[in-house]
Amino acid sequence: SGDDFTALDTVLLGGQGVISVLGQAMPDLLSEMIRSGLKGDALKARALEASLKQGMDLIFEEGNPSGIKAMLHRLGICSPEVRLPLVKATVDLQAKIDQYIERLITSNS
């Protein structure tokens, strides 16, 4: 699958791999979700998918790559800057991403 929103469904239906945008920012959680799906542990995979769903929504809320760049910036991986004609994520989206990451960190500690 090349679509974060259908990646787990694809794997559970027999797909063997994933190309992911969110996986750039959340590689461990996304990999665990996919590995669980490949092993047939749909319950665990769906629980992980539920924790990642808001992240998927957020990174595409204002278009790609602004959202993923904002998330990667929040994680200290890169700057939020993009080249014209693209624009970086709004302050509102950055705040939503910050809150999502804080909740994710808190729930996984």
pTM higher than 0.75 for the full model?
yes
**Is 8 within 8 Å of 49 (Cβ atoms)?**
yes
Of 67, 97, 104, 96, nearest to 82 (Cα)? 67
Locate 102 and state its tokens: 């804080």
Dump pLDDT digits (tens) for 10-46: 999 999 989 999 999 999 999 999 999 999 999 999 9
Q: Alpha helices, DSSP H only, in 39-107?
A: 42-61, 66-74, 91-107
**Is 20 within 8 Å of 7 (Cβ atoms)?**
yes
Helix 42-61 to helix 66-74 angle, to the nearest 10 degrees? 110
Q: What pLDDT does residue 61 have?
A: 96
Dump pLDDT digits (tens) for 75-106: 999 998 889 999 999 999 999 999 999 999 88
| CA distances (Å), origin 70, targets 15, 19, 37, 108 | 30, 19, 28, 21
The domain segmentation of the chain, as residue ranges, is 4-107
For residue 109, pLDDT beyond 90: no
- The letter for the amino acid at 47 is A
Residue 67: how many other CB atoms lie within 10 Å? 26
